Structure 1
């Protein structure tokens, strides 16, 4: 064959086929990207949509075997609509791999570090889609009819804020004696025990956080758990106080039992546990002082206001307020007016007369940071200039009821108060004053006669500290 033809033939070659493995990788990547884009779009479209069921939120840290048992018990023994949300506090025992292996059966979030019980729970609450919310320890095993019974109790009265079951191991009055010697015998006992009986629903001053059920409405009115309680302990006591301040009831459903192995995550701290408890106890005392006295005062004021409204209602009015069942406020009723606040964004608001007004310009006085749930309870009002907000803060503006009789004051018995538009409001503690920056407000020195003439308003408390990010 002539050389020229050989060269021409050699030039006519078919392109090499890509290896099969590479083509499969390309197909996989294309399908993955398409699925991810579709999932993201559907997630954005459904964001904020809720379902008529219960979000079960389980914070966890390095207790994989307990977590697996807990999830299995929920799946086996829960017939009502629910979703499971697990928030992992940076475990190192394979928890993350386990959650990822469940292929969408549960929702989860894996945190980079240990944000404690409150931080992980708040993350779960932000993710939750249910109309009712349930906080559950990872070292629990739920039982037949557990959720049905708790919901029956919760829904029996709109004034009930939170409900909890009884168990074999917990601090306080939710612990009961049990006849079983090992966990294998527990389901049979619980099956007989869990029979709905309203006579076994008992009011209490305290519910422990191993299993807490409440409505979404309570979250919107009360907000998130306080992350000032590091690692764990006392955040449930704090939430109890905040719920009871609003006049809501706490109920132990003594017709409902679940098994609790007993604080396995917090006990794993070992020698650090004592320091954690000491610090959290100190934080609780600094925030609340005497919480029982505060609750009694607030509830008495709510009853007083309800009686005043009932007395002012026209005779025979069918919708006259019932003094025995006062309207229940949100936690914002215990926040001060005439303060600057901001949420997760940089925009600062001036809070006054039940509204938040966007501030235009820079402020020189303190601004309190709130969660979005807390911030959004106030409807938005007209913008206000920074200079005008400064005048109102310093009590130099005479209009709209903001004037010289607005500021801090010490009562004759030595309590710290704020006077707002002619109403005196006790500050729960000095920590509450410092959070809002109220110690910098103008100091009033009313006479004994002027002080006695001022009506008493709801006390002022510090809000929960919440991380800005989901």
Structure 2
């Protein structure tokens, strides 16, 4: 059979997730999509398990752990499909989940990436942290979602069941046109993991492309499969990569002013961690800032190169306000409470 899309699962020491979720993915993925596993040099028995139990499954074994960004870059480089669907190993899918995503991508040339509605595996009536029903970003580059503002998760009552353009698609599960992935040169491997999907989507939008959510496709995500929610290393990656995301991609000349505000807000976040009795995470924010400024010239070089590729910058999905102010001061902790007029909708 000739497939036009591939659902690509990146695995690292996740044999327990493969045992639990791979049968579900194989059973519920349509005949149009081939399921592929890319193994990031696992040290558990993931490869042996796949070879013994799924000998006909396409398996790509990488020589070392390249992280999420590099793992997918190397894995997808070997695949010749029209569409890629990137799928975390800790996700349960629903029947023919891939079809609405591909249909949405095929509906318009400029729609280059699309995510499903992502609900929590352990509480299926609620949105999951990593993506909800589509990602947005505020003026200081703090990401949030329909269905999740910071740590506040909403119950899914159908309030976000409309397909719409967003700012970013979740790395837990999203489909992308292969030509767009390659045109954008894939993920930034310096990110290693976390926020690399927002960086990729931002680069695509700076080229004039559109990112969508298609809630007709529904998946259930465990979350924290590789790094736990409160992992210090996850804190480091999120804060370092958040600064790189801003400097690389912010399309206007006042990026240093936005960066200054972001650094101040990161400092307040560090103080909050100390007050909550988890100072280790405050230390990780300091380490993240130090690592970011160590690579300052590298990030600026990337910015300069990317500025040359900016054509019709698409800012749809940007909130012209502060998500922190809305959440902590105005006490508006649901996406639907954010004023619609302050979202860019080009």
TM norm structure 2: 0.61
Residues 1:248 and 2:209 aligned together: yes
1:165 counterpart residue number: 116
1:434 counterpart residue number: 301
Q: Aligned ranges for residues 353-368 of structure 1 at < 5 Å?
A: none
Q: Structure 1 residues 124 and 70, CA, compared in 2 at 3 Å: closer, same or farther?
A: farther
Q: Structure 1 residues 459 and 207, CA, compared in 2 at 3 Å: closer, same or farther?
A: same
> Structure 1 residue aligned with 2:180, among 218, 222, 233?
218
Distance 1:137 1:215 in 2: 18
Distance 2:106 2:228 in 1: 34
Q: Structure 1 residues 248 and 435, CA, compared in 2 at 3 Å: closer, same or farther?
A: closer
Residues 1:203 and 2:165 aligned together: yes
Residues 1:98 and 2:49 aligned together: yes
CA contact under 8 A between 1:87 and 1:123: conserved in structure 2?
no
CA contact under 8 A between 1:60 and 1:88: conserved in structure 2?
yes
Q: Give per-residue Cα distances to partners, 1:373-432, cap 9 Å, x unaligned.
A: xxxxxxxxxxxxxxxxxxxxxxxxxxxxxxxxxxxxxxxxxxxxxxxxxxxxxxxx9646
Distance 2:302 2:175 in 1: 29
How large is the Cα RMSD of the aligned pairs?
Answer: 3.0
Q: Structure 1 residues 53 and 140, CA, compared in 2 at 3 Å: closer, same or farther?
A: same
Q: Structure 1 residues 435 and 144, CA, compared in 2 at 3 Å: closer, same or farther?
A: closer
Q: Structure 1 residues 268 and 123, CA, compared in 2 at 3 Å: closer, same or farther?
A: farther
Q: Aligned ranges for residues 126-275 of structure 1 at < 5 Å?
A: 126-168=77-119, 169-171=128-130, 172-173=144-145, 175=147, 177-178=155-156, 200-230=162-192, 232-267=193-228, 270-275=231-236
Tell me the SS of whatever aligns to 2:107: coil
> Structure 2 residue aligned with 1:460, among 300, 308, 318?
308
Q: Aligned ranges for residues 297-376 of structure 1 at < 5 Å?
A: none
Residues 1:116 and 2:67 aligned together: yes
Structure with higher Rg: it is 1
CA contact under 8 A between 2:247 and 2:303: conserved in structure 1?
no
Q: Aligned ranges for residues 8-19 of structure 1 at < 5 Å?
A: none
Distance 2:167 2:12 in 1: 29
Q: Structure 1 residues 279 and 437, CA, compared in 2 at 3 Å: closer, same or farther?
A: closer
Q: Structure 1 residues 95 and 52, CA, compared in 2 at 3 Å: closer, same or farther?
A: closer
The structure with higher relative contact order (CA 8 Å, sep 6+) is 2
Distance 1:243 1:272 in 2: 27
Q: Structure 1 residues 103 and 74, CA, compared in 2 at 3 Å: closer, same or farther?
A: closer
Distance 1:65 1:71 in 2: 10
Structure 1 gaps of 5+ residues are 1-49, 180-192, 194-198, 295-428, 439-457, 463-470
How far the C-alpha of 1:63 sits from its partner, in A, is 2.0
Distance 1:116 1:78 in 2: 26
Distance 1:433 1:280 in 2: 14
1:80 counterpart residue number: 31
TM norm structure 1: 0.46
Distance 2:227 2:63 in 1: 19
How many pairs are equivalent? 239
